[in-house]
Each structure stands twice: as C-alpha cells, then as structure tokens.
Structure 1
Amino acid sequence: MVIDVVDAVRLAKAHRRRDRRLLECQEELDQRAAEEDAALQKARQMLYDEAIVPFRDVFQRLKRVDLVELAAIERPTVGGKVGIEPRRSRKIAVLPAVRGLAGGALVIAVPLVVGHAAKAGPYRAVQCFGSASTGRPIKTLGGAAARNAAEAWFGRGSIAAGGGGRAAGKMMLDKIETTSVNLTREVIAKWQIQGLEDSQQKKARDLDRRETEMGEAQDAASALHERSKDMRRVLHDLRFTLVGRLPSFTALVEACDDPARYDSRRRAEVAAMVDLDGLAVMVMECPIIDAEGRMTEESGRVIADAEARLRAMETE
C-alpha cells in the first residue's frame, strides 16, 4: 500500500510538471503572436503613411480624374490578429488528499463505532441463539448472568466445562473489534488510493489531449510566422516601389496636370502607379487568419500574385 501511495504522489507531481510546461508553451505562443501582430501592423502603417497617402495627394491634383478610380482604403487600425488566439490552459487541481500524500502520510479517519459495531453483531447473535455451559438458552438469562454466559461462550465455554471462560471470551471479542478496524482502514485506504489513481489517469488523458493540441498550435504558429514574414516582405517591396516611383510621378503631375494631354508613355506611368496603389490596398487588407484563428488560403494567393506583378513591373 505504501508503494501505491508513493506512486500516486509521483504521478500527481509529474502531472503538475506537464501542466507547467504547457502553460509556458502557451505563454510563448501568445508572446510570439503579439510580436507578429505588432510587426505586421508596423509594415502596413509604413506603407500607408510613406507611400499610399503621398501618392494619392499627388494623384488628386490631376484634372478630370476622380479618386473613385483608386481602390477604397482606410487607415490601418490596431486589432487584426496575426497569431493564434490565446487559449488558456487549465491548471491541474490537486486533491487535498494528494497534497497530504506529498507532505507525509495519508491519514484515514475511521469512526470508532466500526469496531464496536463489528463486535456487537456477533455478541447479540450469541445472546439470542447461544446456550450457557449449563445448557440453558442465554436469552432466558438477564443482566450480569447473560453477559457472563455470552462472554464465556466466546471463550469456548466456562473454565469448569473445560473452556477458556469469560477472560478468553473478552480477548476474542477484542480481537474481532481490532480486526474489524484494521480491515476497514485497509479497505478505505485502498478505495481512496484507487480514487486518486482514477483521478490522475483522467488528468493524464486530459494532458495528452492538451499536448496534442499544443503541438498542432505550435505547428500552426510556425506556419503563420512564415506567412507573416512573406506578407511583411511584400508590404516592404510595395512601399519601396511606390516611394521610388513617386518623384517621377510627382514631376509629371507638376509639369502637366491634364491627363488628356499625356502621351502613351506618361499615361502608362499613371496607370502603373494606380495599379501599384490598388495592389498595395489588396495586400494591406488581406487577412492572414480567419475568425477561428486558422491561416487563410487567400493570403497565400494574394502574396504570390503581388510578388509576380512586382517582378513583372521590374522588367517593364
């Protein structure tokens, strides 16, 4: 039984260690998600402030050109989640009995009436159905005579009849009481230990499930990290391209603000800037994750399309 108790304590401690590891992993994922959110938000904000707004300020100076030709866009706002939504791991509740085991010994309180009741049952049966050494039914006797006869019965009869008498009977009754208490304590101890083992087995299954989910979350977080890096790279490339072309476009508009007088080269330059602006808006407003925290397929397609169009512009 001592081995069972030690095993229960060891298992509970192991479960607490696993639970702490899961909590630490979740905290790392939450921190990583927050950093990804901040980095992506910064990239969006820089593209908006340094490229899109300056371009549109110049574009609106063109005559007979309506701003509705440009894709609608709003200033980036904080709040779009990039990482996985934090899921708080549940802490393992340690039963008081387990805490008692960890600190020392398992204490089982057994009411004293158990032993007395165990002794009283056989004693009453002998009083009802037993016979004294004289052959007279004990139930016909009263008071001390009945008690003496019953005790002598447990001592295998009176000393005169060759038995152990009342003294031996009392020893037998005491033995019945002691044995009953010990057996009851053992039964209760085994029941409590079994309960602890069942509880720890349930916790082990729960921890197994949570560790599986944590592994999936870590894999998803790694994939999201790579997708976020790709998105930030595209946002940076768009900003770099727009800012790089902005001086030439600004000079074009300042020299002539009437598109009707532009030749094919200048019209192509305006069209390219409008196309870049629309591409930037598309990338900026593309969500990386959905409402369930899963990475969207759309973001992968948008990134690939933006990279292909940027490469094509470089060769023009």
Structure 2
Amino acid sequence: MTIDVVDAVGLVRKNRKTRKRLQKAAQELDQQVAEDSIALDKARQMLYDVAVLPSRDVYGRVKNVDHFELAAIERPTASIKRSAEPRRTGGVAVVPAARMAGGAVLVLGLSLAVGPAVKSGSYRAVQGLGSASTGRAIKSLRGAAARNATEAWFGRGAVAVGGGGRAAGRKMLEQIEATSSKVTYELAAAWRIQALEASQQEEARGLERREADMKQRQDEALALHEHFEDMQRVIRDLRSELLTRLPSLVALVDNSKDFAQYGSRQRAEVTTMVDLDGLAVKVMRCPMADPTGRPAEESKLVVAEAEARLQAMQPHA
C-alpha cells in the first residue's frame, strides 16, 4: 500500500505541474498576441499620422480633380478587429483540494471508529450467546458478574478451569479492536488511494489532450506572430514610400493647384500617391486573425498585394 500511496501522490504532483505549465503557456500566448496587437496599432497610427494625413492635406489643395482618376481617401481605423484579439483558453478545471492534497492527507483523515465498534459488537454477541465457566448463560447474569463472565469467556475460561481468565480476555478484546481497526484502515485507505489514482489518471489523460491542443495553438500563435511582423514590415515600407514621394507632391501642388493643367507625368505622380494612400488604408483596415486565432486569409492576401505593388514601384522611387 505504501507504493500505491507514493504513486498516487506522485501523479497528483505531476498533474499539478502540468496544469501550471499549460496555464503559463496559455498566458504567454495571450500576452504575445496582445503585445503584437499594440505594436501593430502603433505602426498603423504612425502610418496615418506621418504619411496618409499629410498627403490628404496636399490633395485638399488640388482643384479641378478628375475623380475618375483619383480614389477618395478615407480616414482609416487604426484598431484591429475583434477577430485578432487573443483567443482565450478554456478555464482550467479546479480539482477539489481534497483530491489535490495528496494520498497522505486522505489516508490520515480516515475514521478509525470501526475497531471499537467491532470490539463492542463482539462483546455483546458473547453476552447474548456465550456461557460462563459454570455453564450458566451469560445473558442471565447482571452487572459485574456478566462483565466478568464475558471477559473470562474471551480468555478461554476462568483461571480455575484452566483458562486465562479475565486478564487474558481483556487482552483478547484489545487485540480484536486493534486488528479490526488495522484491517478496516487498510481496506478503506486502499479504496481511497485507488479512487484518487483513478481520478488523477483520468485527469492526466485530459491533460494529455490539452497538451496536444496547446502544441497546435503554439504553432498557430507562431504563424500569427510572423503574420503580425509581415504586416508591420509592409506598413513601414508604405510609410517610407509615401514619405519619399511626399516632398515632390508638395512641390507640384505649390507650383500649381489646377489638376486639369497637369501633364501626364504630373498626373501619374498624383495618381500614384493616391494609389499608395488607398493601399495604406486597405492595409490598416485589414483584420489580422480569423475567429479561430489563425492568420486571416484576407490579410495574407493584402500583405502579398502590398508587397507586390511596392516592389513594382521600386524602379520609380
């Protein structure tokens, strides 16, 4: 039984450590997504503040704009949609303290009242059915006589007839009590330990499933983290491209505000800037994750589109 106790308590401790490790891993994943979201929000806001907004102010000064050539510039929303919020792990079931405390606590808490009860029951049974050394039924005796006769019966008879007498009888009753207590204790303890171990084994199987789920979630979180970094890189590139082209646009508009008077090269310069701003708005509005916490397909397409369009503009930078 000692080995069973060690095994059960060891399983309790192992499960407790696994739960804590899974909880910590879940918290770290949530923290990573939160930090990525904050960093992306800042990058979006900076893109809007230092590049998109100044460009829009310049467009506002242009007259006779051909709206078939220029797309309307709208103020983007810099926040990530709810689909990109950290996916919370389900609450870890709290195992009752009695189950987590360990086999030793359960064993020590067992009642030892059965031994005295068995002793008392045996005593009453002899009083009801036994006979004194004189041959008289013990149940016909009263008081001290009944007690003395009962104790002598457990001592295999009175000393006068070769038995151990009352002293031997009292010793036998004590042995009955001790033996009964020990047997009952061990049986009950073994049952409790088996129940504890069974419950912990069931929990261990559940934790193994949670381990597999956590591994999958960690893989998904890594993919999402890399996607956040890709999006931030695209935003930085867009900001850089817009800021590089902005001085030329400012100079163009300062020289002439009449779009109708612009030549093809000047019109192309303006439409390219408007196209970049529209792309920036599209990037800033894009949801980062789907409801399952994976990178949203829409945002992956937007990143690829932005990278391709920025790459195509490089010869004209």
Q: Contact conserved, 1:37 with 1:80, CA < 8 A, in 2?
A: no
Matching residue's letter, 1:211: E
Matching residue's letter, 2:297: E
Q: What's the counterpart of residue 6 of structure 1?
A: 6
Superposed, 1:58-73 pairs within 5 Å as 58-65=58-65, 69-73=71-75
Give the whole-Å Cα distance in 1 for the aligned partners of 2:199 and 2:225: 38
Q: In structure 1, the residue corresponding to 2:75 is in which secondary structure? A: coil
Shift of 1:63: 1.1
Shift of 1:25: 2.8
Shift of 1:272: 1.8
Give the whole-Å Cα distance in 2 for the aligned partners of 1:116 and 1:83: 63
The verdict on how the C-alpha distance between 1:126 and 1:275 changes in structure 2, with shifts beyond 3 A counting, is: same
Matching residue's letter, 1:107: L
RCO (CA 8 Å, sep 6+): is it higher in 1 or 2?
Answer: 2
> Is 2:69 the counterpart of 1:53?
no
Q: Calculate percent identity across the aligned residue pairs.
A: 53
Matching residue's letter, 1:166: R
Matching residue's letter, 2:286: C
Give the whole-Å Cα distance in 1 for the aligned partners of 2:97 and 2:6: 15
Give the whole-Å Cα distance in 2 for the aligned partners of 1:17 and 1:235: 42
Give the whole-Å Cα distance in 1 for the aligned partners of 2:30 and 2:257: 51
Give the whole-Å Cα distance in 1 for the aligned partners of 2:95 and 2:184: 28
Q: Contact conserved, 1:15 with 1:203, CA < 8 A, in 2?
A: yes
Unaligned runs of 5+ in 1: none
Give the whole-Å Cα distance in 2 for the aligned partners of 1:25 and 1:284: 30
Shift of 1:92: 6.3
Superposed, 1:222-301 pairs within 5 Å as 222-301=222-301
Give the whole-Å Cα distance in 2 for the aligned partners of 1:17 and 1:194: 21
For residues 36-69 of structure 1, the C-alpha deviation after alignment (integer angstroms, 9 at most, x for no partner) is 2233223212221221111111111111339994
> Is 2:150 the counterpart of 1:141?
no
For residues 106-137 of structure 1, the C-alpha deviation after alignment (integer angstroms, 9 at most, x for no partner) is 634534x5333211212222222233344433
Runs of 4+ in 1 over 6 A off after TM superposition: 78-81
Q: In structure 2, the residue corresponding to 1:35 is in which secondary structure? A: helix
Matching residue's letter, 1:76: A
Give the whole-Å Cα distance in 2 for the aligned partners of 1:98 and 1:79: 41
The verdict on how the C-alpha distance between 1:212 and 1:83 changes in structure 2, with shifts beyond 3 A counting, is: farther
The verdict on how the C-alpha distance between 1:122 and 1:185 changes in structure 2, with shifts beyond 3 A counting, is: same
Question: RMSD over aligned Cα, in angstroms?
Answer: 3.3
Matching residue's letter, 1:150: T
Q: Contact conserved, 1:129 with 1:138, CA < 8 A, in 2?
A: yes
